[in-house]
A and B are shown apart, each in its own frame.
Chain A
């Protein structure tokens, strides 16, 4: 039997589902609501200097890469399978497109984290 790539994508889906279930709401709350409105948190929470220092830390780089990559793989996997439920017949092309977008986002994130430096 030909080895399937499905378990890999399923694990990325599961990892992203778990991570976003744990920290997805609080991340959206902080970056999308609290900081833009200047609520609750210090005004410099997401200032350029603080964010640059954050993104230069090796552990923070790993965290950023894991969050963006797993969120993308989770979202793309689930959307790909939802298309079937909507009556859209997906084949290899759709698979390549959806997982390709998630892979591209992962590579871009890694590249930007390297450009930002240590």
Chain B
């Protein structure tokens, strides 16, 4: 592809900085793109849940087929990668939280730590509720 592009207003050929792979040249930007990539996994996971809801509405046989698909190797790999990516999203979300609300009288480390602690606490609560068979 040409690195020059003529715009509608000027006939002049404007130099365009090539964009392909710019983020691979710096670990900071790689981490940034991995974080952005977690959004793709999260979207796909929401769609998996949506399909499950659709199969649930169709009856026991359809729902059990969806359950069987969840146990397929492809699904397990997808969820394992998704788990790592969304854990990373979770960490970065609370890591930047102090920066989204600057000039707080609270220590930024306390905000990040509090957020992570809340995520762990909610996760343990959900697992405990499932373990002891909450209604």
Contact = CB atoms under 8 A, between A and B. Distances in A.
Nearest to A105: B50
Interface in A1-46: 16-18, 20-33, 35-37, 40-42, 45-46
B126 A23 contact: yes
A25 B19 contact: no
A33 B70 CA distance: 9
Given A20-B42, A108-B50, A26 B123 contact: yes
Interface string B87-121: 10110011000000000000000000001001100
B5 to A, nearest CB: 11
Interface string A60-73: 00001001100110
A75 B39 contact: yes
B26 interface: no
Interface residues of A, number: 53
A116 interface: yes
B11 interface: no
Contacts of B126: 23, 26-27, 30
A78 interface: yes
A54 to B, nearest CB: 9
A78 B53 contact: no
A94 interface: no
Interface of A is mostly: helix
B56 A28 contact: no
A67 to B, nearest CB: 7
A85 B53 contact: no
Contacts, number: 160
B63 A48 contact: yes
Nearest to A72: B46
A87 interface: yes
A109 interface: yes
Contact of B82 (A30, A32, A64, A82): A32
A21 B89 contact: yes
B18 to A, nearest CB: 8
B42 to A, nearest CB: 5
Interface of A: 16-18, 20-33, 35-37, 40-42, 45-46, 48, 51-53, 55, 64, 67-68, 71-72, 74-79, 81-82, 85-87, 105, 108-109, 112-113, 115-116
The 7 closest A-B pairs by CB, nearest first: A32-B79, A87-B19, A75-B43, A78-B39, A26-B123, A71-B46, A21-B93
